[in-house]
Amino acid sequence: MKTFRWKSLCVALICSIVMAGCSTQQANPPASGENPQTTAPADSQTSGEQTMNVNLGSEPTTIDPGLAQDLPSMAVARAAFDGLLRLGTDGKLHEAVAEKYEVSDDQLTWTFHLRDTKWSNGDPVTAHDFEYAWKRVLDPETGSGYAYQMYYLKNGAKAHNKEVPLDEVGVKAQDDKTLVVTLENPAPFFPQLVASVTYFPVNKKVVEDNPNWANEAETYVVNGPFVVKEWEHKSKIVLSKNEDYWDKENVHLSSLTFHMIEDANTELSMFESGQLDWAGSPLGDLPLDALPALKESGKMQTQATAGTYWYVFNTEKVPFTNKKIRQAFAYAINRQEIVDNVLMSRGEPALGILPPSMWFKPEGHFKDGDVETAKRLLAEGMQELNITELPELEILYNTSEVHQRIATVIQDQWRKAFGIEVKLKNVENKVRNAELEAGNFIIGRASWIGDFNDPVNFLEVFRDVGGTNDTRWHNEKFKELLLQSAKESDQAERSQLLAQADEILMDELPVVPIYYYTYAWVKKDSVKDVVIDALGFIDFKYASNEVK
């Protein structure tokens, strides 16, 4: 058994980290007993209160960590909760609620020892809270779209599919301070998972007493750096420093306000007038027309991230029940035109769903803007379906200037390629999520930001019908390859299995990759230590905003 106590665990699979306002990262791990995550920069201390205003973009779908799937939801949950481990400003994972942990030699048993911490209602945080939270995510009655993240636990997938009871899942509270986790197979990325929002604890008594506990500020019981003080729905969420947080000395903001502004021009205007301290990615947007000037001025900061913007086809609805027609619509898109003229080079054309840090095929799976091939495939697909004209088609997307412009460009590209008119439907983000989940769409805008930097995280989105797979597409060979990869200890063999799965998905094309994300934002010079990891998740625990 190998013990980790206040020593940094380097996130080997994460390519880079952004520390807003910081110029360097620690090159070497700290000496035993040091805790770099709790070593605050000298200039972040101030006698006055520090506040920060940022844009969340839209009303979060939920701020229940077990149900959160989108960036706005996860940003609030990450500010309000603490997991076993947490990413520090040095770009490494550190013990959080877990004071130390051990890993067995076969990498299957992980034993976490919890420190003394409290819920915001005064209850102690226990190992039982973690066990309950993880099993709650797996419980099919909960309806968590991220339940698959718990499949790495022994019997996790079986429990979610009701093949075994939840009691047989490999997570047990040995006592109030000891959590023993047994994995189905070795998972080198497991530390990244336990630091993710889905693996956060929840207060069992609070959740069971009130199913709507996460819907209002008054009932939202948390254990993290901030507590929710005010939630004016569709307007703002106000958080304040949690004075009962175990690491409160390293929380510098007295308050953090998430505004819900969908219009990018309004967001930038509020930043320029001093109402916002940060504008743009990863939660908001910058106006496309403003990007050249912001870039020229040197104010705009950018960061490539492991995320892919894509469209999904509803494969249960004609004509996208047909593979050749899905291929036709995917091939006819000119992604370079979108990157150059819509995104202003704030992205990279995606010819596969796997981002550059994970891909098996750098050259891509198909030719960008291959209209001639697209026309041929459309004709063949329509013949196979025995139809002479396409049914009415519609692109569903959520409110955003970027989404609207991309949809308009793709609408025009398909019009020119196929001589058809595709409708556009713009709704708020919460409605889009609900419509995709219910299957009330033909073509839908979606995306995926990696939960950990491994191809399986993107491929597993489409393993089973439901959950994160809004396409309704299913392929037994694809699923079997993913299951085999989970059991394969040889990394070269594992990569081959995942590469085969990637080929199947990109041949079947229930999902159409469009571009790889590059985040862009502007911030006040006084804002420091906002952590954005290589996967695009943002954390305000260590943030400071000392106005001199």
Q: Residue 392: what residue type?
A: E
CA distance 364 to 353: 9
DSSP secondary structure letters along 347-392: EEE-SSSS-TTT-S-TT-SS-TT-HHHHHHHHHHHHHHHT-SSPPP
Strands 530-533 and 17-20 come out as antiparallel
For 422, which DSSP code?
-
> Does residue 241 contact residue 49 with C-beta atoms inside 8 Å?
no
Strand segments, DSSP code E, in 363-488 are 394-398, 423-427, 443-449
Q: Which domains can be identified in the chain, with CATH numbers? A: 2-254+524-545 (3.90.76.10), 303-519 (3.10.105.10)
For 208, which DSSP code?
H
Q: What does each of the 548 residues of the chain score in pLDDT, given as a tens digit?
A: 433 332 233 333 333 333 333 322 222 333 323 344 443 333 333 447 999 999 999 999 999 999 998 889 999 999 999 999 999 999 899 999 999 999 999 889 999 999 999 999 999 999 999 999 999 999 999 999 889 899 999 999 999 999 999 999 999 999 999 999 999 998 878 999 999 999 999 999 999 999 999 999 999 999 999 999 999 999 999 999 999 999 999 999 999 999 999 999 999 999 999 999 999 999 999 998 898 899 899 999 988 888 999 999 999 999 999 999 999 999 999 999 999 999 886 789 999 999 988 989 999 999 999 999 999 999 999 999 999 999 999 999 998 889 999 999 999 999 999 999 999 999 999 899 999 999 999 999 999 988 788 899 899 999 988 778 999 999 999 999 999 998 887 889 989 999 999 999 999 999 999 999 988 999 999 999 999 887 888 999 999 999 87
Task: Choose among 445, 326, 447: nearest CA to 396.
Answer: 445
CA distance 467 to 433: 11
In this prediction the pTM is: 0.73
